[in-house]
Amino acid sequence: EKTLYGPQDAGIFIMERKSVTGALYNSSSAWLLEFYSSWCGHCINYAPTWRALASDVLDWNPAVRIGVINCADEENTAICKDYGVQFYPTFRFFGAFTKDFTQGENYKAEADREVPTVRHVIIDYLESLPAEHRPSACPSLQPISSSDITSLLTQKEPHYTAIIFESETSYVGREVILDLMQFENIAVRRALNSDKAMLEKLGVVSVPSCYLIYPNASHGLINIVKPLRSVVSSHLKSLPGVRKKAGAHSALPESLPSEDKEEDVAWKDYDKSKLYAADLESALHYLLRVELATHQTLEGEKLKTFKDFVTLLYKLFPGRTHVVKLLETLQEWLVSMPLDKIPYDAILDLVNNKMRISGIYLTNHVEWVGCQGSRAQLRGYPCSLWKLFHSLTVQAAVQPDALTNTEFEGDAQAVLKTMRRYIREFFGCRECAQHFEAMAKESVDSVKTAEEAALWLWRKHNVVNKRLAGAPSEDPKSPKVEWPTADLCPACHEEVNGLHSWNEKEVLAFLKRHYSAKEISLQYADPNEDAKNDNLHAKDPGGGADPGLKKPHDQPIVRPDFINKLVPKPIEKEKSSEHQEGNKMSVSFLGLGFSNIDMSLCVVLYITSSLFLMIMYFFFRVRSKRWKIRYNRPYV
Ligand SMILES: Cc1cc2nc3c(=O)[nH]c(=O)nc-3n(C[C@H](O)[C@H](O)[C@H](O)COP(=O)(O)OP(=O)(O)OC[C@H]3O[C@@H](n4cnc5c(N)ncnc54)[C@H](O)[C@@H]3O)c2cc1C
Q: Is residue 605 packed enough to be buried (19+ CB in 10 Å), middle (13-18) or exposed (0-12)?
A: exposed
Pocket of ligand 1 contains residue 369 by CB under 6 Å: no
| CA distance linking residue 272 with residue 269, whole number of Å | 10
Distance from Cα 276 to the centre of ligand 1, integer Å? 16
- Name which of 101-105, 293-297, 538-542 the model is least confident about: 538-542
| CA distance linking residue 609 with residue 595, whole number of Å | 21
Is residue 73 within 8 Å of 3, Cβ to Cβ? yes
Helices (H), 287-320: 300-316
Q: What is the pLDDT of residues 338-375, one digit of tens each?
A: 889 999 999 999 999 998 988 999 999 999 999 999 98
Nearest CA to ligand 1 atom 51: 382
Q: What is the pLDDT of residues 581-590, one digit of tens each?
A: 333 344 444 4
Statement: residue 498 has pLDDT above 80: no
Statement: residue 574 has pLDDT above 50: no
Return all residues near 189 (Cβ < 8 A) that are at least 6 apart.
143, 144, 148, 152, 161, 162, 163, 164, 173, 177
| CA distance linking residue 581 with residue 569, whole number of Å | 14
**What confidence score (pLDDT) does residue 632 get?**
67
Q: SS3 for 142? A: coil
Q: Quick check: is 43 catalytic?
A: yes
Pocket of ligand 1 contains residue 383 by CB under 6 Å: yes
Pocket of ligand 1 contains residue 382 by CB under 6 Å: yes
Q: What is the pLDDT of residues 1-19, one digit of tens each?
A: 578 999 889 899 999 988 9
% of the chain residues with pLDDT over 70? 84
Does residue 89 have a cis peptide bond before it, meaning omega lies within 30 degrees of 0?
Answer: yes
| CA distance linking residue 428 with residue 413, whole number of Å | 23
In ligand 1, which atom is closest to the CA atom of 433?
Answer: 3
Distance from Cα 40 to the centre of ligand 1, integer Å? 11
Distance from Cα 504 to the centre of ligand 1, integer Å? 20
**What confidence score (pLDDT) does residue 158 get?**
92
Pocket of ligand 1 contains residue 475 by CB under 6 Å: yes
Pocket of ligand 1 contains residue 458 by CB under 6 Å: yes
Contacts 24+ apart (CB under 8 A), 572-578: 572/404, 572/405
Which secondary structure element, helix H or strand E, spans residue 65, and what is its range? Answer: strand 64-70
CA dihedral 181, 186, 191, 197 (to 10 degrees): 180
Q: Quick check: is 40 catalytic?
A: yes
Q: What is the pLDDT of residues 166-207, one digit of tens each?
A: 999 999 999 999 999 999 999 999 999 999 999 999 999 999
Nearest CA to ligand 1 atom 22: 379
Pocket of ligand 1 contains residue 202 by CB under 6 Å: no
Pocket of ligand 1 contains residue 377 by CB under 6 Å: no
Nearest Cα neighbor of 403 from 563, 519, 572, 576 is: 572
Q: Model pTM greater than 0.80?
A: no
Pocket of ligand 1 contains residue 66 by CB under 6 Å: no
Does residue 158 have a cis peptide bond before it, meaning omega lies within 30 degrees of 0?
Answer: no
Distance from Cα 462 to the centre of ligand 1, integer Å? 8
| CA distance linking residue 430 with residue 476, whole number of Å | 24
Statement: residue 569 has pLDDT above 80: no
% of the chain residues with pLDDT over 90? 69
Choose which residue among 87, 270, 386 to substitute to test ligand 1 binding: the one with the highest number of ligand atoms within 8 A of its C-beta.
386
When pLDDT is cut at 50, 70 and 90, the band that residue 540 belongs to is: very low
Q: What is the pLDDT of residues 60-77, one digit of tens each?
A: 999 999 999 999 999 999
Pocket of ligand 1 contains residue 385 by CB under 6 Å: yes
Distance from Cα 480 to the centre of ligand 1, integer Å? 8
Compute the mean pLDDT over every residue in the chain, rounded to the nearest whole number: 86
Q: What is the pLDDT of residues 46-58, one digit of tens each?
A: 999 999 999 999 9
Nearest CA to ligand 1 atom 39: 483
Q: Up-side HSE of residue 100: CA atoms within 13 Å toward CB?
A: 2
Is residue 233 within 8 Å of 57, Cβ to Cβ? no
Output the furthest CA–CA distance in the chain (Å, rounded).
127
514: how many CB neighbours lie within 10 A of its CB? 20
Residue from 40, 383, 432, 489 carrying the catalytic annotation: 40
> What letter does residue 146 receive in the DSSP assignment?
H
Pocket of ligand 1 contains residue 473 by CB under 6 Å: yes
Q: SS3 for 551? A: coil
Q: Residue type for 117, please?
A: T
**DSSP letter string over 582-631?**
TS--EEEETTEEEEHHHHHHHHHHHHHHHHHHHHHHHHHHHHHHHHHHHH
Q: What is the pLDDT of residues 499-520, one digit of tens each?
A: 889 999 999 999 999 999 988 9
Distance from Cα 109 to the centre of ligand 1, integer Å? 27
597 vs 492: which has the higher pLDDT: 492
